[in-house]
Chain A
Amino acid sequence: MIREVRTDGGEVEIPEVDSVSGSGVPIRGNDIDTDQIIPARFMKVVTFDGLGEFAFFDLRFDDDDNQKEHPFNEDRFQDSSVMVVNSNFGCGSSREHAPQALMRWGIDAVIGESFAEIFAGNCLALGIPTVTADSETIQELQEWVDANPDGDIDIDVDAETVTYGDTTVDVTVDEAQRKALVEGVWDTTALMKSNAGEVRKKAEELPYVDDAAIPDAE
């Protein structure tokens, strides 16, 4: 899947994401917060480029930059693109740096028990599905990934299923997320821009918006 969004005369190509395939990487633990996904000190940047190498940094390296035990450090997971996590993944701050770092490390989709809302929203804005399943299903999948680090996991976003090995399980994809991904409207800027006239009208109706704050119509 090509996720790089390019400009072409102001037009942006938004790919449809109806399925994602790739080998998995299990990241175990509940409540993994955004400070763990990307520590704040790596956010002193004005672009997201290069954030990939800092994903889970403090969980992956000790003070002397020696590698610690972490799936992202393991050779067998270096080509993985589907992350399998537990509950409340991505809680904490609104930093899009978190999914940006994961995406740049190579993650295309996340399967988990549950996600923090802002994190899931930020993933959607990058075209990364966050699909959910119950804890038993997730645990089995994590174990399977451990045993089959090269095995493909197929996420069918539209049908809300995940297939690995000979197993297919039902998963849940939030309705708006599913539509946005499948119909290729997850990048909402152009879509919303096309309603500029109605937006202007809304602004004029609101009692607190000064007329001077509404720019002249184009």
Chain B
Amino acid sequence: MSEGTLYDKVWDRHKVTTLPTGQDQLFVGLHLIHEVTSPQAFGMLRERDLEVAFPELTHATVDHIVPTADQSRPYAEDAAEEMMTELEDNVREAGIEFSDPNSGDQGIVHVIGPEQGITQPGKTIVCGDSHTSTHGAFGALAFGIGTSQIRDVLATGTLAFEKQKVRKIQVDGELGEGVEAKDVILEIIRRLGTEGGVGYVYEYAGEAIENLGMEGRMSICNMSIEGGARAGYVNPDETTYEWMKETDYFRDNPEKFDELKPYWESIRSDADAEYDDVVTIDANELEPVVTWGTTPGQGIGIAEEIPAPEDLPEDKRDTARRAQEHMRVDPGETMDGYEIDVTFLGSCTNARLPDLRRAAEIVQGRQVHDDVRAMVVPGSQRVQEAAEAEGLKDIFEDAGFDWRNAGCSMCLGMNEDQLEGDEACASSSNRNFVGRQGSKDGRTILMNPQMVAAAAITGEVTDVRELKEVTTA
């Protein structure tokens, strides 16, 4: 059993009691809600005549179904309008703060929490969304829950949960040019498998992680769940505290910052903490990673060959065969040169300001390939506003990108932004499951945002480092 890790410490600070099931009842410090998974939970509360226990520790936004083009109400799609109205009614009735599209603060739930400073080190954070692991970048203990658990949290401010093991993932060395946080996490999932993290929480540590800004750390923690781990975190440090200082909450309450910092320091994993497992990765060896299949674990370096199913462990062969058929790729090929129809720069993995900046650098002065439909969907209204203010929108639009409003968009195709037919999409999102982007024949290739930008320009999966050489030449 782990001891002295951030996970152990935050768990202990939030444990209310042990339930008869052997599970612990954990206090929830921040409950984020959105329109897709919360309405049924509010329905369950009403059925049982229960109220929201801690409305002030609850925060809502709308992201999955929100249209990213015309956002005038009522929404063009009835179902979307109904979900939005339901959420509005629920939060009004319960007195829950709502970052709605009129607030200027709306966005993907995992982008807005950190922006507003409500995501903080040492908090327990839950949301009816598996990518809640994102918030672990701040040293919070954050994980996704199902709708019945949302009901529990709404009604009691707590959650029944079993403690898990802790695996430290030590990423040493330095990331090379064109290689990003996204590649680190795709590499981790590829090595440990999509199930490798089941039963574990991941602690990301080491030089390469410490050198990342908060956005990069969020990209990594975000995809913990793709590796099977319910939560992932990075110990808070000066980078974290600098971010916190600049958020609304602490700008308005600077004395709070001084008050809380000792707590944040105290929950860091001890130098002699014990882990259930340790895995080491050398960042120097990494190249941009792209997926060739239909699970996030089916990734390879851009110059590497797609594996033959026979060469994979037995339990992976069938999935690999089906994936290669779906993607229409053959063993021995590389993904370099794979033709692309759509590029999607967005999602809670990679649609924050630095992501857009790096992509814009590649795009600047170039044109989107004639056969490519390219879109940028900022992660939040604030990201959008900041990006527009520093001219990124113009760069993208001049190149032929479609610049849209904030939301989940084509990450999961619940609004009008969807793949059509068997289109192939270079995507900065986190899931390449069959049907994920709205078309069951659609093909998704996951990669970092610079690589998405490169694919938009060339119309095929491209090693972005080659474009960079041209830029600097």
Chain A residues in the interface with B (C-beta under 8 A): 7, 10, 12, 29-31, 33, 35-36, 39-41, 43-48, 58, 63, 87-88, 91-97, 99-100, 114, 116-118, 121-122, 125-126, 135, 174-176, 179-180, 183, 185-189, 191-193, 195-196, 198-199, 202-203, 205-210, 212-215
The one of B21, B43, B434 in contact with A176, judged by C-beta atoms closer than 8 angstroms, is: B21
CA A176 to CA B414, docked complex, whole Å: 35
A122 to B150 alpha-carbon distance, docked (Å)? 11
B72 to chain A, nearest CB (A): 19
Q: How far is the CB of A164 from chain B (nearest CB, A)?
A: 23
> B57 at interface (Cβ–Cβ under 8 A)?
yes
Complex Cα distance, B230 from A87, in Å, reads 17
Closest B residue, CB atoms, query A8 = B48
Assess the B152–A192 pair: CB atoms within 8 A: yes
In Å, the complex CA distance between A87 and B316 comes to 10
* CA gap between A195 and B156 in the complex, in Å: 9
Q: Which residues of B sit under 8 angstroms from A91, Cβ to Cβ?
A: 194-195, 228, 295
Q: Which of the residues B80, B128, B315, B413 comes within 8 Å of A87, measured between beta carbons?
A: B315
B198–A114 touching, CB < 8 Å:
yes
Contact of B19 among A174, A192, A208, A213 (CB under 8 A): A192
Contacts of B318 in A (CB 8 A): 29-30
Question: Which of A29, A30, A41, A187 lies in contact with B414, CB distance below 8 A?
Answer: A41
| Smallest Cβ-Cβ distance to A201: which chain B residue | B16
Q: With contacts A36-B433, A94-B129, A118-B145 known, is A189 near B50, CB below 8 A?
A: yes
Chain B, residues 410-445, CB within 8 Å of chain A (1/0): the string is 001110000000000000000101111010100000
Shortest distance between the CB of A151 and any CB in chain B (Å): 26
B residues adjacent to A (C-beta < 8 A): 13-14, 16-17, 19-23, 25, 27, 29, 36-37, 39-40, 43, 47-50, 53-57, 65, 77, 79-80, 82-83, 86, 120, 122-123, 128-130, 132, 144-149, 151-152, 155-158, 160, 162, 194-195, 198-199, 225, 228, 230, 259-260, 263, 295, 315-316, 318-319, 322, 412-414, 431, 433-436, 438, 440
CA distance A100 to B128 in the complex (A): 15
14 A-B pairs with C-beta separation under 8 A: A31-B295, A40-B414, A41-B438, A88-B228, A91-B195, A94-B145, A96-B148, A97-B147, A122-B147, A183-B20, A195-B17, A196-B53, A199-B158, A214-B54
Once the chains bind, are A195 and B21 in contact (CB under 8 Å)? no
CA distance A175 to B239 in the complex (A): 40
Q: Which residue of B lies closest to A120 (CB)?
A: B198
**Bound Cα distance A48, B44 (Å):** 11
Complex CA–CA separation, A198 to B36 (angstroms): 31
Whether the Cβ atoms of B130 and A92 lie closer than 8 Å is yes
Contacts of A30 in B (CB 8 A): 315-316, 318-319
Bound together, the chains give a CA A127 to CA B123 distance in angstroms of 30
B316 nearest CB neighbor, chain A only: A30
Q: Are A213 and B25 in contact (CB under 8 A)?
A: no
Question: Contact partner of A203 among B27, B36, B120, B130, CB < 8 A?
Answer: B27
Q: Is the CB of B146 within 8 A of A208?
A: no
Contact status B230-A191, CB under 8 Å = no
- B17 and A10 form a contact (CB under 8 A): no
- Is the Cβ of A208 less than 8 Å from the Cβ of B123? yes
Residues A213 and B56 in contact, CB atoms below 8 Å apart: yes
Find chain A residues with CB under 8 A from B413 CB: 40-41
Tell me the smallest distance from the CB of B335 to a CB of chain A, in Å: 20
Q: Is the CB of A31 within 8 A of B263?
A: no
Top 5 nearest A-B pairs (CB, nearest first) are: A125-B148, A122-B146, A44-B79, A213-B56, A94-B144
Given known A-B contacts A193-B155, A207-B263, A209-B29, A58 and B21 have beta carbons under 8 A apart: no
Q: Which residues in B have their C-beta under 8 angstroms from that of A12?
A: 48
- The reply to whether A206 and B13 form a contact with Cβ atoms under 8 Å apart is yes
Contacts of A203 in B (CB 8 A): 27, 54, 157
Q: Give min CB distance, B413 to chain A, whole Å.
A: 6
A183 to B19, CA, bound (A): 12
What residues of chain A lie closer than 8 Å to B16, measured between beta carbons? 195, 198-199, 202
Distance of A206 Cα from B29 Cα, bound (Å): 9
A202 to B199 CA separation, bound complex (whole angstroms): 26
| Given A40-B414, A48-B40, 6 more pairs with CB closer than 8 A | A40-B438, A88-B228, A95-B36, A96-B128, A183-B21, A192-B160
Inter-chain contacts of A41 with B (CB < 8 A): 413-414, 438
Contact indicator B48/A7 (Cβ below 8 Å): yes
- How far apart are the CA atoms of A35 and B145 in the complex, in Å? 16
Of A63, A100, A186, A213, chain B has the most CB atoms within 10 Å of the CB of A213
Q: Are A185 and B20 in contact (CB under 8 A)?
A: yes
Task: Give bound CA distance, A199 to B145, whole Å.
Answer: 19
- Chain B residues, CB < 8 A from A209: 29, 57
A189-B156, A208-B260 known; A195+B25 contact, CB < 8 A: yes
Per the bound structure, the CA–CA distance linking A82 and B150 in Å amounts to 27
